Chain A
C-alpha cells in the first residue's frame, strides 16, 4: 500500500514536470515558468520534481535549487492547502498592516513561513505586491484582498474551507 502511494505520488510529480516542460520547452531560460507551473500544480517543489527538472534541462541540482529557493512564489517545502501572503512593505505597514499581521497570526496560530499541522494553512510574508493604494493587502491563494482590517480577517479566511 505504502509503495503504491509512493508510486502514485511519483507519477503525479513526473506528470507535473512533463506538462510544464511540454509547455515551455526543456530550456534553461524557461526554468522560472517551469518551476512556477509545477509549484502551482503540486503546491510546492518536492525534491523529485527538482531532480527531474535538473535531468530534463541538463541543469545541475545546485542551479535549479538556487532558483527554486530564491523566489517567494516558489517553495521547496510542502505548503498548506491555502497559502496566505501578507505584504510586509512600508506602505501597508503605515496604514495598519501590523495589526492585520497580528490578527492573521492569532487567527491561524501560525508564525511567518509556518504551515498548520492539519495542512490547511501556510502563512508567509511577501515584499510589495504593487497594490499600495489599497493597503493593507493580503493574498489568499490567487485572490487579492485590499483595505484589510483585523476584523475582516476571520471572515476572509472563512471563505477557504
Chain B
C-alpha cells in the first residue's frame, strides 16, 4: 500500500493503481473521455490531467501510477482552462445533428463541455464532415461527425469482444475510425455485439433500431431470454406505449458486466411482433360440441375468453386422466420459462394430474450430461463458474461447443483469456468453428468418435505418468478397471478411428498433462449422440485423471443452452425426479412430496419427451399440455413428430406465437415473453437471477404462472383425484412469484436458502444454497464429490447409429448459428437478425461443392432416409470434405427433417449430430 494525498485528502491505495483510480476511491471525479474502467488506459484525450507536486506539467491521471507521498491536485484554474481548451478543440471537429437528442443517452463530451462553461451547440463545428448513418449494419449506427477519436470502440472490440473490427485510419485532421479495411462492419467480421456502442461516450456509435425512439420513463434490470450464460441488462421502457425501447448494458451485471451479444442486445423486438398471441383460441369443433375433424386437420380457430379456454383444457385433461389413467397425459414444460413456472408445471403433473410424464427440451440437449455426471460425480451440473474458468484455467479444452456463437459472451471471455493471459486453448471439433482461430491446437475429429479421442489422450497421459496419482488415490474409485480399458486406445488406433494425426494427439496430451488446472467445456457436440452418456463419462474420467476437479479454473463445464434449462431441470421438469433431483423412485422423497402436496404420487419414472411423442403416435398418450416448446422444430425426424401429434386426442399449447406445433393444437393459451413476467432464471453455472417485469402483458395474454395456477384450480375442482387441502403445500393460491420460490425452497434442499428478497438485496446465489444464511456454492465437488468418491467408468467407442453408404454417402451434423435461437420462433421475428441471417444455409466444403457440380448455382437438396430439404449452400472450409452442417432455425428447411431418433439408452437423447445424407445440386 502507498499513501497519496489527493486534493488534500490523504488516502491509502494499493501499489500499481493509477491516480485516476485512487481519486475515484476517494470519491473524487476527474473528467475523462477516452478512459473507461473496463478498458486498458489510453491517455489520449488529456481531459484527466492533474497537477502533481514536483512535476513540471500537468499529467494524465489515467495512465499515471501512484507513488508513495504523491501530492495531487485535481481542480485548479489552470487545469480548468486546459480542459476547457481541449473540449473546445474536440468540439471544433464535432457535429451533432440532433436526431438523437431525446433518447436520454448521456453524451459525455457535451456533459463535460457544459461543466466547463461551453455551450456545445455554439462551440461545435457548423457542418458535418461525414454522412450520417454511414454503415449498413442493421444494429450499429455510425455517425463519424460525433466521433472524438477516443478509441473506446477500438479497445472494446479488441478487449471485450476480441474481434478487432475497428481501427484508426489516416492521419492528422483526416483521422477516423474505420471498420476493417474501410469496408462495412459486417464485411470486417463484426458480430454485432454492440460493445462499441455501449462504450461510445458520444453516440457516434449508437443502437440503430432505437435511434430517435426517445427516452425511457422506466428502466428495468432483468435477465436475458436467450442462452444459458445468464446475462443481465436494462430494458428501457416507454410505459405509456407499453413498449421496450432498447436494451442497454448494466455494468453491475454479475456474469457479463457491460457485455452482451447480438441476440441479447438487439433480438428483443420479437416481443412486439404482430404475430403475438393476444387472446386464447380454441378449435371451432370444441365450441360446437362436435367430434374432432378427422385426418389431423383440427378445423378453424375461434378466439374466446380465458374462462372458456381454460374450462375446455381442464375438462379434456380430466377426461383423459379419468378414462385412461393419469399416465395417458403428457406434460412438456419449458426451459424458456421461469423456475417458478416450471415448478408449477411439475406440481401440476404430479400432484394435480398424478403422473410423472413431465419433461422438456433438456432431454434434447444435456440429458446425457445430467445422467453421466450424476453417475461419475453425483451431480449433473456445471461445476465451476464462467468467470473462474476465464480467469484461472491454464488450459481450456473445448469440445463439441461452438462457444462464440452459442454462448457468445462466455466465448468472448475465453478469447480474452487467450489474448490477455495466454491461456492455452485446445478445441476438438469436426468443424473449424470460429473459436479455433484462438486455439493453440485444433483436433478435427470425425463426428461420433469422441470416446476414442479422449481415451486416446488419456492413454498418452498415463503412458507419460502425467496423471494426478494423489487425487486418484484419495478421491476416486474404479481406477483399475478404467486403466485396463484404456489399453485398447493406442495412438495409432485412435488416429485411425478419429482421423486426428498421432502427432496432434501427443501435443494435446502433453499440454493437458503438463498444465494445471484445465477446464473442460462441452455442449451438444458431446451430448447429442447415442453414446452421449458415455461421452460425458469419458470427460469426467479425464478431469479425475488430471485432478482438475474441485479447483478454480478446472472442472467439468457443460454449457446449458436455454436461458433456464438448468432451472427447469432443478425444479422438477424431468420424469424421474422431483425438484432438487430427488428421485421419484425413492420412497423417502415420494413420502416427502406426498405429505407436502397432500396426495398419493406415482412411484414409477415417467416418459421422456423422446418417448412421450412416439407414445402419442401409438395411442398410449391421449392428451398433452405443452408450455413454450415446439417439438416439430426441435425434435428429430420432424415427419414422425407431426404424425404423432396428429394422433393425439387433445393438445393444449401455451405459447407466445403460433408455431409449427400449434397446427396440431386444440387450444392455444397466450402466455407472455420474459419482458412481461416476474420470477427467476438459473443460468448454466447454477446462478439464480431475477427476471423482472418491464411491460404489461400484451393484449389479453397472461403471465404463465397465473395460467398454470388457474388451470390447476379448475382441474382440482373436478374429477376423481382427491387432494388433502390441509397439507402444507397442497393449495394453489399464490399471489406472487416470491411465494412460489418460498415453496420451492421449502421442498428443494439445493434451493433451500433462495428467496426473492435475498436476490433483490443484491446477492448473487449459485446453488446449492443450503440455508438462508448459506452464501451459495461457486464451485462443486471441492474436497469431496457429491456422491462421495468420484467413479471412473470404462468407456468404449461405438460408431454412430447411421453410417454413410453408397446411397447416403455424406455425414450431416447439426446445430445453430450466432444470429438465431433454437426453432427460430423468436429470432425469425427479429428484423435485424433476419437481415443478417435470413435463410437456412448448408455449410459444405469447396471440394464437395465442386464434386456435386455446384457451379454458380447455390441451391442444394439434402436427403436422408427420413426426408429431404432444399436450401442454399455456404461453400466454406469450416467443414471438412465429406461433412455438411445445417441448422434447425427455419421451418422451410430444418435439418430435423433429416435427423434420426436413434437414442442414447440411458438418457434417451437423440443422435442429432450424425446422420447419413445425400447432397445434390438443385435447380428448379
User: Which A residues lie at the B interface, using CB under 8 A?
Assistant: 47, 50-51, 54, 60-66, 69-70, 72, 76
Contacts and interface: CB of A to CB of B under 8 A. Distances in A.
A65 B182 contact: yes
28 contacts: A47-B181, A51-B181, A54-B181, A60-B164, A60-B165, A60-B189, A61-B164, A61-B180, A61-B181, A61-B188, A61-B189, A62-B154, A62-B165, A62-B178, A62-B179, A62-B180, A62-B181, A64-B181, A65-B182, A66-B167, A66-B168, A69-B169, A69-B170, A70-B168, A70-B170, A70-B171, A72-B171, A76-B181
Q: Which of B163, B166, B168, B181 has the most CB of A within 10 A?
A: B181
Given A60-B180, A61-B167, A62-B181, 9 more contacts: A61-B164, A61-B181, A62-B188, A64-B181, A65-B169, A65-B178, A65-B181, A69-B178, A76-B182
Nearest to B166: A62
A61 B170 CA distance: 14
Contacts, number: 52
Q: Which of A62, A65, A76 has the most CB of B within 10 A?
A: A62
Contacts of B189: 60-61
Contacts of B178: 62, 65-66, 69
A73 to B, nearest CB: 12
Contact of B164 (A47, A51, A63): A63
Contacts of A70: 168-171
A47 B189 CA distance: 15
A47 B165 CA distance: 16
Interface of B: 154, 163-171, 178-183, 188-189
A125 B189 CA distance: 34
Contacts of B165: 60, 62
A118 to B, nearest CB: 26
Contacts of B180: 60-62, 65
Contacts of B169: 65-66, 69-70
A126 to B, nearest CB: 12
**Interface of chain A: mostly helix, strand, loop or mixed:** helix
Nearest to A47: B181
A124 B201 CA distance: 35
B167 A63 contact: yes
A60 B183 CA distance: 13
A70 B169 CA distance: 6
Contacts of A65: 167, 169, 178, 180-182
Contacts of A62: 154, 164-167, 178-181, 188
A58 to B, nearest CB: 8
A72 B178 CA distance: 18
A51 B181 CA distance: 8
B689 to A, nearest CB: 34
Q: Which of A47, A54, A70 has the most CB of B within 10 A?
A: A70
B175 to A, nearest CB: 9
A25 B189 CA distance: 26
Contacts of B182: 65, 69, 76
A118 B170 CA distance: 26
Give 7 closest A-B pairs by Cβ, nearest first. A62-B167, A60-B164, A61-B180, A66-B167, A69-B169, A61-B181, A65-B181
A97 to B, nearest CB: 19
Contacts of B154: 62
Nearest to B176: A69
A54 B181 CA distance: 10
A66 B154 CA distance: 11
